[in-house]
Structures are given as C-alpha cells and as structure tokens.
Structure 1
Amino acid sequence: MHPHQLYLSLLLACMATFTYAIAGPIPIVSLEQLDPTLPPVLSGQNPTCSLVVLEQDFADTVGSPPASANYTEPRDCPFPWTRVVLELSISASDLQKDRVAAVWIDGSEVLRTATPRPMARGAFWRVHKDITRYAALLRHLSGGGSGAISMMLENSNDFFPGVFSANISLHFYRGALPTSPRHLAAGFAAHPTIEGLYHEPADLILPISNPNGYYRSGFWLRINNETHVESTSITIPKNTYRAVLEIFVSYHGDDEFWYTNPLHSAYLHQPPSNLSVPRANGAFRQVYATIDGRFVGGHIPFAVIYPSTINPYFWSPVAAIGAFDMPSYDLDLTPFLGFMLDGRPHDIGLGVRDAQPYWLVSANLHLWVDAWSDSVQAGLTEYIAPPIKMYRNAEWRDKDGESEIDAEGLLRFTGWVSSSKGNLTTQVRQKIKLKSQVEIHNRGSTTQIELQNKERMMVSIQKGHQPLGRVQLLMEAPLQVQTSMVSAAGGAAFQKSRLYHQLMEMVTLSEGQAMTTSTLTDRQDAEGSALTHDGEPVWGSGSTKSSYRYKDESTCYLRSVNTAGGVVMMDTKSASCLAVVDP
C-alpha cells in the first residue's frame, strides 16, 4: 500500500473507533475535567470563611518567576482552625499541552499538580487539598513575616494558543466537624503518611527549596543525574523534639516516562551517563534525603501518569491517579535529631537514584518544638541502611528483546529524644520492593510493560517500655501497559494502547489500646487508539474506567467514573458501604 493511502486508512480507522467509543448511553457532555477521589471536606461541612488569595493568567511564562500575592488572615476566622482547604481552580481558553504546576506558601510547597491537556476551549477543573498541616506557614505570614503565596505554571503559546487562568482560594473551618480530619483520606496520595501520629500541625516549617524562588523559575530544585544532590543549609531550634521531612517530586525530559524505561544490555557494563541511547537505564528510581551527606531515608515514587502519556485521549475528561494532587513523601527524621540540635547550620540534601535529566524536587521540614524547654537532648541508637539489593537482566537483539529489574531494600532507624514530654523513642522501619519487566517485539512495534511497586512502612513511638502510638502503612501499586504501533510516511503513526493502573493502601493507627484501620483502592482501566503526527495527536479515542473506594471505621466513600470519546458516560457516588463486600 502506498504510504499516503496507509495514512488515510489509519485516519479512517481511528475515526471509526472514535465514533464507536461514544455510542451507547447518552453521554454527559461537560468541559469539566474530573478527579474521582475523596474530597477533603464532605458535603454538609461548610467553611467559616473563604478567601481568594491569588488570580493569574499564565500565557507565555516559560522562564518567568512565579506569580505571587501577599496574604492577610481573614478577620472573621483567625487561628486556630479545625481545617484549612486549598482550592485551585483553572480554566483553559483554548487547546494547550499539559503542564506541571506548583503552589508555595512562603517558599514551602503545598501542592504540585499536572494540568490536563485541554482539547476544547473552556475546559476547566478544580483541585481541593487539605493543607491543615501547613497552618504554621499561614500563621507566620499573618504575624507580619515576609513572604507570599506563589504559583508556578510554565506555559508556552508557541504551538498552542491556550492560556491557563488560575484562582487560588483558602477555605477555613473552625469548631467541631462531623468527621475527624484524620479519618478522612486527605493524607492518602500514594505515599506513606505519618500524619495520624501527630494530631497537631507542626510548630515550624522550613523550606528545602530554591531560596531565590521569587525571582527565578520557582522554588523547586533541579536534579540532573543520579549523583546530583541539591542541598539547603538550615538551623533548627534547640528545643525541637520531632521532625518530619516531606518531599515533592516530578519528572521531566529523559525521565518523563521513567517507569516504562527498558534496561539495555549496555547499562550493565557502563554508567548511565555514558549511554548512547536515552531512557535505557531501567525503571528503578528512589527519591531520598541526606543530612550532612548521610542517607536518612527514601521512597520509590508512585508512577503518576501525565495527561500526554500513553494515549492522551485516556485522560479527557478524567485525570490519572495522583495527577491533580501529585504525591509527597514523608520521612520521619526524629531519630536523627541528635545530629541537628547543636544550634549550627546543617545541610539537608535531596537526590534521585538512577535519575536522568531531569527531576524537580523540593521539601518541607516540619518541626515540633518544646515550649517548656529551651533545649532538648537526643541521640541515634540504631542505624540499619544496607545497599538496596538489585538484580538486573537484559537481552536485546537490535530493537527487540526484554529486560527485568528486581529491587529490594530494608532499613531501620531508632532514636530517642528527652524533653518535657519525657524520654520518647521513635523507630522507623521500611521495606521496599520493585519489579520491572519490559518486553519489546515485532521490530520495536509492540511493547508490554509491567511494574510492581510495594512498600511496608512503620513508625512507632514509645515511652520507656510503654507504646504510645504506631502507624503502619501497606502500599501496592501495580501498572501494566501494552502498546502496538504502525508507522506511516511523513512522521505519522497509529498506536493502540491498553492500561491497567491501581493504588492500594491500608493504614493501621494504634494509640494505646485503640486501633483504627483505613483502606483505599484506586483503579483505572483504559484502552484506545491515537493517530499522531510528529509526536502530536491528530485524532484518537479512549475509554477509561475509574473506580475509587475509601473506607474506615466511620466513613465510606465510593465513586465510579466511566468516560469514552472525551465525554462522561457514567459518574456515580455513594457514602454507604452496606452493599459493599470487602475483597
């Protein structure tokens, strides 16, 4: 067949697929992009007051500093607050690519998000996030401290004309709420959360970010390779009795699809920096932190799928898991306080193992201080952090072949802190396991990817031999992707894809004799096809089934959203588990 005839036949086939995808029930036509997750505030819980803190249009903003606005605490609802919810509302004036954006309060990141890929004029979406744990930042600004609320969204009109119009609002809640905040899934975002142990927000939050963020391209730090560590020098109060580091990450450039990377045979014999083929160092990454160069913990990141990835028609009008509120990763640094309570500056470093250019990272150091002491004593009693066990195997014949990576790690840190609360011992245990398999056949036209990310995390606090609290998290995140592609003349290609992605979390919180358990299952299944030209989608179809379920002792939330052909076919919600059978 002549190349141009092949191109036309592929276009007609894709159009036929698109027509079929929207057949059936009457669709719900809406420009709203959806994120089917548990909202941070349930219906019937109204804020005491609300405040718009920033309004900005993002057109050609590549390389520009973030948009910033001063903050004044609303008089109608001063601190203390039961809850604070950030609402980010964005609309797109026209077609545009997807972008990664962030919101900072006084240089500390509180939200990282990926915008949808707007495929129609007027597309809009909202992101709601519980930011109660960042109350210290708002109190600092209200108390006359320097700083502002900032947002970074690097957009370009070189190819698409769309302008993103963003509004940031804060909703403040005071008094008792029908449901305790720690029984909601606000902390569930594909990461080990230890907020349940610490009922009160931190007294002080120090940013681990670019100190010139107001004047450059945002507060995030850029990691260019696996040996690159970005660090910030900080001094913490001598009466700090608890410390938690929260890390934000997103991946770009050669690592934008790191979770699909094959492992080339050459990688086994030479460093990644010498690879002649980009994106060939496999699908293992670990985001980690250091104190004065010493490793203090890390996590394998959850694979958030960006809206342009695999098939962009999967993600209109539903977002991928974690895309609107990208996960952050908590590390309890309390066992290491003995190194930092001397009143001197110390370097907090951030890195990404096996990274390729480039990752954007930042972190917040949450600190709790003892109001009844000028200084506390602390020490590290156990440090077990052996190298991660790695098995790598790759067999390739030109473009075809397969590769496999098995990684497993175990660490344990224990330290004590003596303060007015007594002599408390904190122990952190973690086990990680990752398995990546990539198979490519038919001269590179067929790809099958399977990724399994598992983690078990436990943080416990005890006073002498008496347990005070413990939180344990079990997380599994399987991902499967199958693609087949046919190339045509002039840079055109026709691709068919299937996707299965799931996040499963179970959190058990023990306090004294009381114990509560929360479970979350977030799953997406998608399939479809796309015709691209020079890498940009020309026409296509996609159907996605999203199923979200959260349950604890007092709350159940279910939501199912089915989309096809860019419209919503079904959207159901339920707050009852009476008809639900636990798996």
Structure 2
Amino acid sequence: MNRCCISVFLLLLSVGIVTQSAGPVPSISLEHLDPTLPPAILAGQTPKCSVLLLQQEFADTAGSLPAAANYTHPRECPFPWTRVILELSVSASDLQRDRIAAVWIDGSEILRTTTPLPMAPGAFWTVRKDVSRYAAILRRLGDPSYTAARGRGIVSMMLENSNSPARLPGVYSANVSLHFYRGAATTTIATATAAAHPNTRSLYHEPADIILPISNPTGYLGTTGFWFRINNETHIQTSPIALPMNAYRAVLEIFVSYHGDDEFWYTNPLRTSYLRQSPFSNLSSPRTNGGFRQLYATIDGQFVGGHIPFPVIYPRSINPFFWSPVASIGAFDMPSYDLDITPFLGLLLDGRTHEIGLGVRDALPYWLVSGNLHVWVDLWSDAVRAGLVHYYVPPVKVNRNAEWRNQDGQSEINAEGLWQFTGWVSSSRGNISTAVRQKIKFKSQIEVQNRGAVTQVEVNNKERMMVEMSIGHQTLGRAQMLLETPLQIQTTSVSAAGGSIFLKARLFHQLLESVVLSQGQAMTTSTLTDRQDAEGSALMRGDAPVWGSASTRSSYKYRDDNTCYLRAVNTAGGVVMLDTTSPSCAADA
C-alpha cells in the first residue's frame, strides 16, 4: 500500500470507521483537476520569459499578514505582450480543509481561488489564468521609478490555514508565477473569457490604461488582507477613487466569496418565522432568509449595477467526495463580475474624490469582496466631458412564500429586476453614448421532508445584459449576453453511530452562457455549456468527511464562429476514469 493509501486507511481507522481486518483501500488521484477551460497557450508555444513572483508555505497562517514579495519585471521581456498567464501551483503536505485564497498586485486582486480538500498527503494542483487584462498593472511595475516608491511593486497572497497536528496537519506550499508571451495570438478559443459570469470585456479589444484597486487600503498591514468584509445587507464597504479628467470608459470588476452563515446561501431555507419579522434583515436565527443574494455596486451611494452571484460550490460542500479529484465549476478560478459604469462618468470627472461602494443584498455574515476599476483614458485630450441622461432602477420585485411545520415544509423565492443606464462621453473619439441594460429572473425552491432527513433544492438564475455604444443613430458596437445557471441538489441523511451522519446526495449544476458581439457590419457569436452531474454517499462527523464514495461527470463545451472545444472528465472513487478533449465539435455530433 503506498503512502497516500496508508494515510487514508489510518484516518478511517482512527475514527473507528474501518477495522484492521478491512480490505485494501483503493488508490486515489493525487492531482486535482479543473475540468473546464482549454489551455491558455497552444502546445509547443513557449513563453518569452517567466518570473517566479512568490514562494510561500502556509502552515498556521490564520490571522496572519498576507505573504508578500517585491516584484521585479524582467528587462528582457518589455511590453507589449501577446498574452500573460498567471500560474499558481500548490501542494498539500498532508490532510487539510479547503481554504479560500487570493493573489493581489499592489492591492489589485487578480485571482481568487479555493484549495481542494486534500484527502491524502501529496495532493497537488495548478491554476492557470489569463491575466492579460491586467496589463496596466504589470506595465507600471516595469517602471523603476514606480517600484522604488514605498509600498509599490508588491505581490501578495492570502491563504488562511490552521494546523492541527492530530487532525489537519497539512501545510500548503504555493508558487506564484507569471509567463509572458510574444508573437501571434493562439486561437480564438484561447481568448475566450467565459468563466461563470457575464462580462463585457470582449467589447473592448485593448486592456484598460489604468486599474485602480477597490480594496482594503490597509491590506499590507492588517490581518484581513485586502478583502472587504460584508456582514449584512446594510453593510456597504467603500473605497475612495479619483479618476483622471480624460477618462472615457470605466468598467468595475468585482471579486466575491461567501463564508460563515452564508457559505451555503444557495441552499438557505426561507422560514415562516423570518417572514413575520420586520424588517427582514433583523434575523432571530441564521440561515433562515432564503437563497436570494445580489452583489451590487454604488457610486456615492447611488446604485450602478449588480449581479446574482454564480453559486460556486466549495470542495467541502454537499458531498466532499464529489470534488476529489475534480473541482466544481468556478472553484479554482472563482468568477469576477463586470459592471460597465461608463454612463456614470459624468458623476466622476469633476476632479474630486468619490466613493465606490460594494454590498450584498440579503447577506448574512459574511462575504469577502474587493474590486478593480478598469479605466481607459483619451491620450489626445486633457479633459473630456460626460453626462448621465437616463437612469431607470425600479425596485427588484421579490416574492417570498414559506410553509413549515416543525422541521418539514417548503419555501419559494421569486425575484425579477430590470435596470437601464445611458450616458454620453465627448472625447477625441467623438460624442459616444453608452447604454447598459440588464434583466434578472431568479427562482429558489426548497423542500424538506421526513422530519428534516430529505432535502431538495432547486435554484435557477437567468440574466440578460446588453451594452451598446453609439454615435447618434449609428451603432458602433454591441455586446449581448445571456446567462442561465440551474442547480439541483437532493440529499438524504441518516443518523449513524458516534454522532455521525450518513449522507446520500445527488447534484446537477450547469452554466449556460451565450454572447453575441456586433461591431459595425461584423457579428460574432459564442456559446458555453459547462455541466456537472454527481452522486454518492459520505459519512460525516460534524463538517469533516470520514468515509465516502462518489462519481462525478463533467462536460465542457465552448463554441464560436471559428472554433469548438470539448472536454469530458469522469471520476469515481477518487480516481479519474476518463479525461478526453477535442478541438472539433464533430465528436459531439
């Protein structure tokens, strides 16, 4: 029996789940996989240069300062680059829990991720993300006068880990690197940014000229890193910003993760007792306000857009054995959410400091948020003029219904929202109007039967978003996005010896995303279907798995006008049974 199998066997033996007469424990896969995006770079293409940004071991780091290192840009690899790839390689020395982690450069978050749940010593995984979008940050780090200033040119990583020699002795070892590429772009599909969220970046060919962090300014010194913490729906975290007077476009990117009482917000039941309270935010008990959440942003207190978060399922959730050794959708590269706030530039281009706020509707403690404000500037103008001409934000219609008798009952939440913004910016590019239109339709149904032993959860969010740029009656560009994210979970629990719970679960989760991009007479379309089906059993003691088995089927299909990419990954019993890819849709015919 190899070392990893011995460790699993000893774990089960220590909690009394197996005896020494048990049969051999099957070997498991030590490499954890993200069964989604294709490689960011084609095989055989090598980087012009690579830089190791940070090397760190995260042992007992809960409550500690973020790990930090000074960044020195390689002289042999100056701007411009075709593509920049961030690579995060992590290994776990032993058993450990899943943890949230993030990477920042000068306070701007460029990656948020979860670790898997290492079930054997030696587990390892790699996250690769195209970070070409953050070229403005990387370019300024190549300026010696900038990096010489105090507190600049610093790469930070946060991974709060807690060691328990008896139960969770694992130490996470992380390497953060950047790979810079030159030459022709690889393929259309490699530039696809579908990542479990709607975005408008495909409308803008060039990265922003300036990126301003919307994050905790004391991140270098505090023990909470650069994350803002949201504790309830009235808690809005703000960051001061001052835009250059010649800014002509702005997109706010928001990172978010959820924890504590809202770690499983998408499965929160709506209790009858909650409906009787006024206002709703004054909860008598946690996790009773249902599964509707809205991430939103404000400028000086005024709502400027929002999204329903994609329910990324953490590796310890539902059945931990679903996610060994395959990650759930969006877990390794957690989605960020784009809000085009160009229509509001008229409020920002007055030379004064303004407050960008981030909040979560119906939030329970706690959510971790941060953002980046991507700004494009007109190099041919010292100042531009702008104005907001249309602002339509009716209240989101939310209908809540719940019927409960003791532990059993059912609840339903339906929500619909629509908002529209239009603004103009007069620059050397002309007097261009930007119109943003967004519509959401959300539904959550939860039913509990058999004295709380059987739970069924169905959640679905549909979202349409349109961003259009025009001069007069002439449309310059339009991006239209459609998103649908159905999630179904069925669980059955039975009490077992020693206070343990035997849990059977089934899961269906899917991301459907389509984008239509029009520019002049040209039009392109792309579609993404990312799906996971899982079923299995687990013996849980508290929130820790002590035994289990599961199978997970993951399928990923991306298609645009020129290319197609298919990937299928099937796992069972902790082993990868199938992992196939195809650059042709013929395999899906």
Q: Give the TM-score of the pair, scaled to structure 2.
A: 0.93
1:348-369 Cα shifts (integer Å, max 9, x gaps): 0000000000000000000000
Q: Which letter maps to 1:387? A: P
* Structure 2 match to 1:477: 485
Instruction: Indicate conservation of the 8 Å contact 1:382/1:412, yes or no.
Output: yes
Instruction: Indicate conservation of the 8 Å contact 1:18/1:540, yes or no.
Output: no
Q: What is the alpha-carbon distance in structure 1 between the residues aligned to residue 358 and residue 480 of structure 2?
A: 25
Within a 5 Å distance, the mapping from 1:63-102 to structure 2 comes to 63-102=63-102
Alpha carbons of structure 1 residues 579 and 573: separation in structure 2 relative to 1, 3 Å:
closer
Within a 5 Å distance, the mapping from 1:485-496 to structure 2 comes to 485-496=493-504
* Structure 1 match to 2:240: 233
Q: What is the alpha-carbon distance in structure 2 between the residues aligned to residue 83 and residue 535 of structure 1?
A: 41
Structure 2 segments unaligned to the other structure (5+ residues): 1-15, 147-151
| 1:257 to 2:256 alignment | no
1:52-72 Cα shifts (integer Å, max 9, x gaps): 111100000001111111111
The SS at the match of 1:202 is coil
Deviates more, 1:39-48 or 1:478-487: 39-48
Q: Which letter maps to 1:210? A: N
Q: Aligned-pair RMSD on alpha carbons? A: 1.8
Q: What is the alpha-carbon distance in structure 1 between the residues aligned to residue 129 and residue 460 of structure 2?
A: 27
Q: Which letter maps to 2:66? A: P
Q: What is the alpha-carbon distance in structure 1 between the residues aligned to residue 24 and residue 510 of structure 2?
A: 26
Deviates more, 1:169-178 or 1:445-454: 169-178
Q: Which of these residues, 487, 498, 501, is aligned with residue 506 of structure 2? A: 498
| 1:59 to 2:59 alignment | yes
Instruction: Indicate conservation of the 8 Å contact 2:281/2:362, yes or no.
Output: no
The SS at the match of 1:375 is coil
Q: Which letter maps to 1:268? A: L
Instruction: Indicate conservation of the 8 Å contact 1:223/1:352, yes or no.
Output: yes
Residue 44 of structure 1: how far off its partner (Å): 3.4
Q: What is the alpha-carbon distance in structure 1 between the residues aligned to residue 89 and residue 572 of structure 2?
A: 24
* Structure 1 match to 2:9: none
* Structure 1 match to 2:149: none
Alpha carbons of structure 1 residues 531 and 16: separation in structure 2 relative to 1, 3 Å:
farther
* Structure 2 match to 1:134: 134
Instruction: Indicate conservation of the 8 Å contact 1:544/1:563, yes or no.
Output: yes
Within a 5 Å distance, the mapping from 1:127-276 to structure 2 comes to 127-144=127-144, 145=146, 146-158=152-164, 159-180=167-188, 183-184=189-190, 186-216=192-222, 217-270=224-277, 271-276=279-284
Number of equivalent positions: 562
Deviates more, 1:337-346 or 1:264-273: 264-273
* Structure 2 match to 1:4: none
The SS at the match of 1:238 is coil
* Structure 2 match to 1:438: 446
The SS at the match of 2:585 is coil
Residue 272 of structure 1: how far off its partner (Å): 4.3
Q: What is the alpha-carbon distance in structure 1 between the residues aligned to residue 351 and residue 343 of structure 2?
A: 17
The SS at the match of 1:418 is strand
Q: What is the alpha-carbon distance in structure 1 between the residues aligned to residue 462 and residue 175 of structure 2?
A: 37
Q: What is the alpha-carbon distance in structure 2 between the residues aligned to residue 495 and residue 320 of structure 1?
A: 19
Q: What is the alpha-carbon distance in structure 1 between the residues aligned to residue 130 and residue 241 of structure 2?
A: 27
Residue 40 of structure 1: how far off its partner (Å): 2.2
Residue 179 of structure 1: how far off its partner (Å): 2.1
Q: What is the alpha-carbon distance in structure 2 between the residues aligned to residue 477 and residue 533 of structure 1?
A: 31
* Structure 1 match to 2:311: 303
Q: Which letter maps to 1:214? A: Y
| 1:467 to 2:480 alignment | no
| 1:290 to 2:289 alignment | no
* Structure 1 match to 2:112: 112
Identical aligned residues as a percent: 70
Residue 42 of structure 1: how far off its partner (Å): 2.9
Instruction: Indicate conservation of the 8 Å contact 2:41/2:186, yes or no.
Output: no
Instruction: Indicate conservation of the 8 Å contact 1:40/1:186, yes or no.
Output: no
The SS at the match of 1:184 is helix
1:71-123 Cα shifts (integer Å, max 9, x gaps): 11112221011110100000000000000000001100000001000001110
Within a 5 Å distance, the mapping from 1:507-546 to structure 2 comes to 507-546=515-554
Q: What is the alpha-carbon distance in structure 1 between the residues aligned to residue 425 and residue 489 of structure 2?
A: 47
1:295-338 Cα shifts (integer Å, max 9, x gaps): 00000000000000000000000000000000000000000000
* Structure 2 match to 1:5: none
Deviates more, 1:396-405 or 1:138-147: 138-147
Instruction: Indicate conservation of the 8 Å contact 1:17/1:541, yes or no.
Output: no
Q: What is the alpha-carbon distance in structure 2 between the residues aligned to residue 391 and residue 546 of structure 1?
A: 34
* Structure 2 match to 1:124: 124
1:124-154 Cα shifts (integer Å, max 9, x gaps): 0000000001011111222132231111000
Q: What is the alpha-carbon distance in structure 2 between the residues aligned to residue 403 and residue 142 of structure 1?
A: 55
* Structure 2 match to 1:349: 357
* Structure 2 match to 1:32: 31
Structure 1 segments unaligned to the other structure (5+ residues): 1-9
Q: What is the alpha-carbon distance in structure 1 between the residues aligned to residue 276 and residue 22 of structure 2?
A: 48
Q: Which letter maps to 1:105? A: I
Q: What is the alpha-carbon distance in structure 1 between the residues aligned to residue 437 and residue 168 of structure 2?
A: 48
* Structure 2 match to 1:358: 366
Residue 11 of structure 1: how far off its partner (Å): 5.5
* Structure 2 match to 1:570: 578
Q: Give the TM-score of the pair, scaled to structure 1.
A: 0.94
Alpha carbons of structure 1 residues 185 and 257: separation in structure 2 relative to 1, 3 Å:
farther
* Structure 2 match to 1:556: 564
Q: What is the alpha-carbon distance in structure 2 between the residues aligned to residue 243 and residue 432 of structure 1?
A: 22
Q: What is the alpha-carbon distance in structure 2 between the residues aligned to residue 50 and residue 189 of structure 1?
A: 25
Residue 511 of structure 1: how far off its partner (Å): 0.7
Q: What is the alpha-carbon distance in structure 1 between the residues aligned to residue 233 and residue 418 of structure 2?
A: 20
